[in-house]
Amino acid sequence: MNTDRLSNRLETVAKYIPAGAKFADIGSDHAYLPCYMLKKQKASFAIAGEVVDGPFLSAQKQVVNEGLSDVISVRKGNGLEVINDGEVDCITIAGMGGSLIAAILDDGKDKLRSVKRLVLQPNVSAYSIRIWLMENDWSLVTEEIIEEDDKIYEVLVAERGEGKKPYSSHIDAELLLGPYLSKERNQAFQKKWSMEKANWERIIGRLETANETEETAAKRQELSWKIALVQEVLGNESN
């Protein structure tokens, strides 16, 4: 992967950034995504945000080497604190846990006033992001799930609007599995959730032989609930 050719994961994120956008890439690492978007003239300005010294310096070096310092600002800071009010209209956050992404958005709510689109790629727990979006009046407008190098990634795209708009009466299952993804049910989706279901069933099996405590009982109840939701969507396809 480089600034001319992204991984499939980041390419999927890139395609949901609106043409000509001013965007902030939070946790930008080597600034591959901002450099790619500006080199291809698919965006007009980007902020590459990093909180760790190593990736921050790598991003700075990358942007200088590409001759893009006039259109990409590399900044060190925690989450959305690298953004000034009204500076961007799109935010991308990729390669982190869903709970962390939701926390970054929540901590930086005041920086979202001018933002029209969020493109989010959690490594785990997309559920946490869907909950945050719904509770904060961001409407999930589309989702995509892909497999790359034996790993499965979800990309969530949200815009300001009614938080519950994409959800049906099966909201619990759709929050966990995705309202769009659970309708499409592509191969990556079926693989991910069949594996998750099998793993949860193994954990329940181990809990059955453990000493009964409030904690183990609660864990078994939670996993049984998740298994039922996955089964509701996959049906016979999971067998």
Structure tokens at 180: 């769009």
- pLDDT, averaged across the chain: 94
d(CA 4, CA 30): 13
Q: What is the largest CA-CA distance in the chain?
A: 62
Burial class (CB in 10 A: 0-12, 13-18, 19+), 214: exposed
Angle at 94 between CA 124 and CA 42, to 5 degrees: 150
pLDDT tens per residue, range 115-134: 999 999 999 999 999 999 99
Contact 76, 51 (CB under 8 A): yes
Q: Is the pLDDT of residue 173 over 60?
A: yes
Name which of 149, 154, 151 is nearest 1 in CA terms.
149
What CA–CA distances, in Å, run from 114 to 22, 26, 110, 209?
11, 16, 9, 53
d(CA 153, CA 13): 11
Kindly report the pTM of this predicted structure: 0.94
Which residue spans within 19-150 are E strands per DSSP?
A: 21-26, 43-50, 72-76, 90-96, 117-122, 138-148
What is the average per-residue pLDDT within 48-57? 96
